[in-house]
Amino acid sequence: MSSAPLPANPDQASGPQHVAIIMDGNGRWAKARGLPRVAGHRRGADAVRRVVRGAGELGIPILTLFAFSTENWTRPADEVADLMGLLRHYLRNELEELRKNGARLRVIGNRDGLAGDIVRDIADAERMTSGNTRIDVNICMNYGARDEIVRAARNLAKQVAKGEITVDSIDQHSFERELLTAGVPDPDLLIRTSGEQRISNFLLWQCAYSELVFVDTLWPDFGKEHLEQAIAEFRRRERRYGGVGS
């Protein structure tokens, strides 16, 4: 990825309006320093704070962060417990920071698999930030795109079985209304940190036409300047949506 800076006073209309990020590399960051993995996750939480602040300053209306996937439950139990502890800390201690940044928080994912106190903390944080309007911050927690798509298909099938809709009435718009991201515009830009070049079951439907930018920087080291570089790369691309370019 080029490191060319953004032009002065960039035109917000040139996008992106919605940036999604796969936050990868916490474990490798810790391993390179001889630290336990939880140290990488803690530094990753600091990066979340920097990037939310930076996205707001750059005028990005929507930021979506992949925090914990449905597959992450297979990690060692102590690491999962540490991650859940960090989520609790974030939900309970970052509300003032979110308020300062004008950030409205939304947690996207299957809450059935989360502890009851975490579900309550999520509801409280969403309610307490609901009046903020500068930037929407979506945290994908216990989220998996294939599971999301299956659930959407199952919901539509139930509606057909009840006679509420017909099979022929199902289209892309009705399907999107059943997704966990209903009402959220699709990402224009998807960033993955740490050098890995895959999307790992993240927003598979929503990222059909997203521009993908892969960066070598590990997530704990990621900041506003890296976000600016990814946006600069995005603006150099021509988005054709399957059509013919100019």
Domains of the chain: 15-144+185-236 (3.40.1180.10)
- Whole-number average pLDDT of the chain: 92
* Binding positions: 24-29, 37, 41, 69-71, 73, 75, 192, 198-200, 211
Residue-wise pLDDT for 195-245, tens only, equals: 999 999 999 999 999 999 999 999 999 999 999 999 999 999 987 767 666
* Binding positions for Mg(2+): 24, 211
Catalytic residue list: 24, 72
Q: What is the DSSP string of 48-78?
A: HHHHHHHHHHTT-SEEEEEEEEGGGGGS-HH
pLDDT at 2 over 70: no
State the Cα–Cα distance between residues 204 and 148, nearest whole angstrom: 9
Amino acid at 135: I
State the Cα–Cα distance between residues 25 and 194, nearest whole angstrom: 5
Please indicate whether residue 126 or residue 5 has the higher confidence score (pLDDT): 126
- State residue 24's pLDDT score: 97
Contact between 64 and 103 under an 8 Å Cβ cutoff? The reply is no
Q: DSSP H helical segments within 197-237, as ranges?
A: 224-236
Q: What is the DSSP string of 102-159?
A: TEEEEEES-GGGS-HHHHHHHHHHHHHTTT--SEEEEEEEEE-HHHHHHHHHHHHHHH
